[in-house]
Structures are given as C-alpha cells and as structure tokens.
Chains A and B, each alone.
Chain A
Amino acid sequence: SYVLTQPPSVSVAPGKTATLTCGGDNIETRSVHWYQQRPGQAPVVVMYSDSERPSGIPERFSGSNSGNTATLTISRVEDGDEADYYCQLWDIGSDHVLFGGGTKLSVL
C-alpha cells in the first residue's frame, strides 16, 4: 500500500523559512493536500492540490510537488505557525484517504 513519509519534527527560528516534506513513491503524479493542526483543535487545510492556497491562508504558505517529494514551505515563520502539519492524498486505486504521520513544527 502507498505510504506517505514525513519527518517527525522541524525547528525553525522566527522570520526564517520552514520546509516541510512529504515523501511518497512518484508522489508528483498525485495531488497532495496539507493540514495544520494546533493543539486541541481540528485540522485546517493550508494547501490543496499541491500548490493551491485556500482563502484566508497567508501568502507565506506555498506548496510544490516534484519527483518523490511534496513540499510545504512557510516563509517568514511566526510563532503562530507552531503546529502539527499533515500531508494527505486520495488514493484513487483503493478509494482510501491517506495521511502522512505528521510533522511537528517548532518555532525556536
């Protein structure tokens, strides 16, 4: 079965750029979505279809997908960006929803 791999944690200083990755076999052929989840809250989509930003999400958030890695990039990181981030895709072959294991973003 298809597996999405995310690093458990990423740390970044305020004002710097955070790069969150989501690995999968030939993932560039899939459409990847990203969610932000703050403690005690439901997830919120911050990027869909690789690089589409929902309304209300700052332009500091951007996405890309190439080869075996999809990437969520957060520029000029702020304290409020500290959260867990999950990648997700829809596996058409099995009609299953797949989530990566999540990355905890810490703002130093």
Chain B
Amino acid sequence: EVQLVESGGGLVQPGGSLRLSCEVSGVTISSNYMSWVRQRPGQGLQWVATIYGGGTTYYAESVQGRFTFSRRDSLNTVYLQMTTLRPEDTANYFCASHYCNSGSCYVDYWGQGTLVTVSS
C-alpha cells in the first residue's frame, strides 16, 4: 500500500520560514517524480514544485527563489523548505507522487495535506 504522510505545517509570521516533510512508503522516491501541490482555502489546486527521479527540480514562478524541494532517499522522504513566506502562501500543502507514461504525468497518490498559515 502506498502512503504519503505530510507534516510540518503550522502558523508562521510573514517573512518566516517553515519546512514541510512527506514520508513516503510503498514507492521509491528516487525512482519517481514527486510534487508539492497547494490549495488555498476555498480555492483550486495549484502546482508548487516537482522533483524528478534524477534530482532536478522545477518550481512555479510564485515560489521560485523562496521554496526549495529536496529529498533524502535513505528515509524515502521529500521536503519543501519555504522561506520569506507571504500571506498568500497560506494553503493546504499536498505531497504527490506521479505516474508518468509517454511524456505525460499524473498524480496517482496524494497525501492528506498539511496546513500552512502565514499570518501575524
């Protein structure tokens, strides 16, 4: 059974930092594309970042330069380091594992999400 379990969310002041973790079981993260997807309260899904199996990372423009996606293969865990947080970063952050075929990828497994609130 595949499970993705996020942690690390919470309340942080604007300009602050937070690190999210996602422990993965049932799939090997170093062989998979992994993403973070967020959802602001009452709004739609928004892609944040992706890490490829080889370690290359890609970011949405809104978080480029502020967020860093990394992983620790020995723990089968991925991380999202968030700095210079803004109120508009307030959202539920989902960890996601992709299945890729013929040049296209979709999310086949999602975590339950961890809530990040940026407020003074």
Contact = CB atoms under 8 A, between A and B. Distances in A.
Given A30-B104, A31-B103, A45-B107, A98 B112 contact: no
A73 B46 CA distance: 23
Contacts of A89: 104
Interface residues of B, number: 24
A90 B44 contact: no
Interface residues of A, number: 27
Contacts of B111: 42
Contacts of B44: 84, 86, 99-102
A45 B108 contact: yes
Interface of A is mostly: strand
B103 A97 contact: no
B60 interface: yes
Contact of B45 (A31, A48, A86, A94): A86
B46 A99 contact: yes
B105 A102 contact: no
Nearest to B52: A95
Given A96-B58, A99-B45, A31 B113 contact: no
Interface string B40-62: 00001111001000000010100
Interface of A: 30-31, 33, 35, 37, 42-45, 48-49, 54, 84, 86, 88-90, 92, 94-102
9 contacts: A35-B107, A43-B45, A45-B106, A54-B108, A86-B45, A88-B45, A98-B47, A99-B37, A102-B44
